[in-house]
Amino acid sequence: MHITVLRKVAVDFLVTNPSGYYLDVTGGAGGHAEEILKKLDLNGRLIVCDQDPKAVDLLSTKFSDSRVEVRRARFSEVFEKKENFDGILADLGISSNQLDDAQRGLSFLRDGPLDMRLNPNETETAAHVIMERSEEELANIFFHFGEERYSRKIAKAIVRVRAHQEFKTTFDLKEIVEKELGPLYRRQKIHPATRIFQALRIFVNDEMEELKKLLSGIKNHLSKGGRAVVISFHSLEDREVKKAFNEVVSSEGITQGFKRITKKPVVPTDLEIKENPRARSAKLRVLERRIT
Ligand SMILES: C[S@@+](CC[C@H](N)C(=O)[O-])C[C@H]1O[C@@H](n2cnc3c(N)ncnc32)[C@H](O)[C@@H]1O
């Protein structure tokens, strides 16, 4: 089961008005949403969104509370209505429920179809990317979204192997990555397939474009005094969040109506990381709207 990262810290930053109108754009298993509800009074309202229909089903069953509305929406769709919020929370990436579901093909630790789509409307699966994209495109995906230094080497190997073998499963891909990069990764702490799988997931789900749309939506849909709390899990995401927050804030802290509440990102305690190793790379940043 998914363990919510920075559960209390994030919600303590987020909720400043118990009767306010809140948006959780990454509902997932509903951990943060549950914590938000604890802080809201009977007039408070919470919209919980996720792109994944399975997550939406879970959230709809979990929250029968009349203060909650569950919506299936991607970041690029959540701000279609003309509405402002007292707080917007985004806990990026994927949940352990998704990672541990072999049928989704997100983990190299479980054998399953090489799919990776969290949003069923996406047409291109990870297997399709591996089989159809050119060697150069594959290398760019691994380099840009996985920061994989051996991106060219692995792209070349994939193209060589796919000429006589179809990549259908997560283990098909894991095996070739282990064979090609295993010796080069011997002294590293992570598995050689970590960055390749991350890169494919980001590409298949268009995660960086989605994040950009979320960050611009956040700036336009906060009420006065409203806060955005964003938790990221890798440097590509954190860089985008930092950039977007800095664009509306000067070095003194306030310009263009926004204030940075966290000068440096807040990270989990050693105890939280011990109890939930997935939390180790989390970084939380908070932005507040000062004028309407
Ligand atoms: C880390 S989990 C959130 C966990 C949640 N905060 C909790 O406490 O249970 C991230 C969730 O965001 C969703 N997600 C990721 N990218 C999304 C996007 N572009 N649009 C909507 N949902 C997205 C994923 O489907 C996943 O369920």
Q: For residue 89, what are the β-bridge partners?
A: 24, 229
Q: Going by DSSP bridges, is the β-strand pair 68-72/45-50 parallel, antiparallel, or unpaired?
A: parallel
From the CA of 27, how far away is ligand 1's center (Å)? 6
Quick one: pLDDT at residue 35? 98
From the CA of 266, how far away is ligand 1's center (Å)? 20
Q: Which residues line ligand 1 (CB under 6 A)?
A: 2, 4, 26, 28-32, 49-52, 55, 74-75, 91, 93-95, 118, 210
pTM of the entire predicted model: 0.95
Per-residue exposure over 188-219, b if at least 16 CB sit within 10 Å of its own CB, e if not: eeebbbbbbbbbbbbbbbbbeebbebbbebbb
Please tell me the distance from the alpha carbon of residue 198 to that of residue 193, in angstroms, as a whole number.
8
Quick one: pLDDT at residue 157? 96
Q: Are residues 78 and 219 in the same domain?
A: yes
110 within some domain: no
The pick from 57, 118, 205 for probing ligand 1's pocket by mutation, whose C-beta has the most ligand atoms within 8 angstroms, reads 118
Q: Are residues 228 and 195 in the same domain?
A: no
The pick from 50, 78, 205 for probing ligand 1's pocket by mutation, whose C-beta has the most ligand atoms within 8 angstroms, reads 50
Is 210 in contact with 258 (CB distance < 8 Å)? no
Residue nearest to atom 5 of ligand 1 (CA): 28
Q: Are residues 199 and 138 in the same domain?
A: yes
Q: What is the block-wise mean pLDDT of the chain (292 residues), using blocks of 10 residues?
A: 96 98 98 98 97 96 96 94 95 95 96 93 92 98 95 97 96 95 84 95 96 94 96 95 87 73 95 94 95 70
If we measure between CA atoms, which residue out of 247, 195, 207 comes closest to residue 92? Answer: 207
Pick the last residue of a domain from 157, 175, 204. 204
Quick one: pLDDT at residue 89? 98
Total number of domains constituting the chain? 2
Q: Are residues 196 and 257 in the same domain?
A: no
Q: Which atom belonging to ligand 1 lies closest to the Cα atom of 24?
A: 6
Q: Which atom belonging to ligand 1 lies closest to the Cα atom of 119?
A: 25
**Helix (H) or strand (E) segment spanning residue 142:** helix 135-146
From the CA of 163, how far away is ligand 1's center (Å)? 36
Give the domain range for residue 176: 123-204
**CATH number for position 185:** 1.10.150.170
Pick the last residue of a domain from 204, 238, 253. 204
From the CA of 180, how far away is ligand 1's center (Å)? 32
